[in-house]
Structure 1
Amino acid sequence: MLRYTLMRLGIFAGCLVVVWGAVYSGIFPRGFGDSNFLWVLLLAMVLSAPISFVVLRKERDRASVRIVGRVDRMKANLEANRNQEDAADEGPRAQSQPS
C-alpha cells in the first residue's frame, strides 16, 4: 500500500512540475490574482488522477488483494475469538444446571 501511495505522489509531483512550467511559460492561463498557486495545484490534481488510474492499475490491484487478505484474516480471528468465548461460557453453564 505504501508503494502505491508513493507512486501516486510521484505522478502528482511530476504533473505539478509540468503544470507549473506550462503556466509560467504561458501555455496554460494564470489564475486570478493571488490564486495562481491554487490554480496550479488544481490542474495538477486533475491531470494526475486519470494518469494514476491508468498507469497504476496493476499496483492498485495488488494492493487491494493484500487488503482483502488482511480483512479475511481479521474476520477469521474474530470468529475464532467468538468461538473460544462461547466455549468458555458454555462450560460453567453446563456445570451449574442440575442433571
Structure 2
Amino acid sequence: MLRYTLMRLGIFAGCLVVVWGAVYSGIFPRGFGDSNFLWILLLAMVLSAPISFVVLRRERDRASVQIVQRVDRAKANLEANRSQEDVADDTARVQGQTS
C-alpha cells in the first residue's frame, strides 16, 4: 500500500513540474491574480489522476488484494472472539443453574 501511495505521489510530482514549466513558459494560461499556485496544483491533479489510473493498475490491484486479506483476517479474529465469548457465556449460565 505504501508503494502504491509513493508511486502515486511521484506521478503527481512529475505532473506538477511539467505543469509548472508549461504555465511559466506560456503553454498553459496563468491563473487569475494570486491564484496561480492553486491553478498549477489543480492542473497537476487533473493530469495525474488518469495517468495514475492507467499506469498503476497492477499496483492498485496488489494493494486491493492486501486490503481484502487484512479485512478477512480482522473478520476472522472478530468471529473467533465472538465464539469465545459465547462459550464463556454458556459456561457461566450452566454453572449458575447448577449452583
TM-score, shorter chain, exceeding 0.5: yes
Alpha-carbon distance in 2 for matches of 1:95, 1:26: 83
SS in 2 for 1:97: helix
> In the TM superposition, what is the alpha-carbon distance from 1:5 to its structure 2 partner?
0.3
4+ residue runs of structure 1 moved beyond 4 angstroms? Answer: none
Superposed CA RMSD: 0.7
Specify every segment of 5 or more residues in structure 2 that has no aligned partner in the other structure, as ranges: none
Residue 17 (str. 1) matches residue 17 (str. 2): yes
Corresponding residue for 1:58? Answer: 58
Name the structure 2 match of 1:28.
28
Name stretches of at least 5 consecutive residues in structure 1 with no aligned partner: none
Once residues 40 and 64 of structure 2 are traced to their aligned partners in structure 1, the CA distance between those partners, rounded to angstroms, is 31
Residue 86 (structure 1) aligns with: 86
TM-score by length of 1: 0.96
Q: In structure 1, the residue corresponding to 2:34 is in which secondary structure?
A: coil
- Identity score, percent: 87
For residues 39-76 of structure 1, what are the alpha-carbon distances to aligned partners after superposition, in whole Å with 9 as ceiling and x for unaligned? 10000000000000000000000000000000000000
Which residue type is aligned with residue 8 of structure 1?
Answer: R
Aligned mates of 1:64, 1:50 — CA distance in 2: 18
More helix by share: 2
Q: How many residues align?
A: 98
Q: TM-score, normalised by structure 2?
A: 0.96
Residue aligning to 1:42: 42
1:21-47 CA distance string (max 9 Å, x none): 000000000010111111100000000
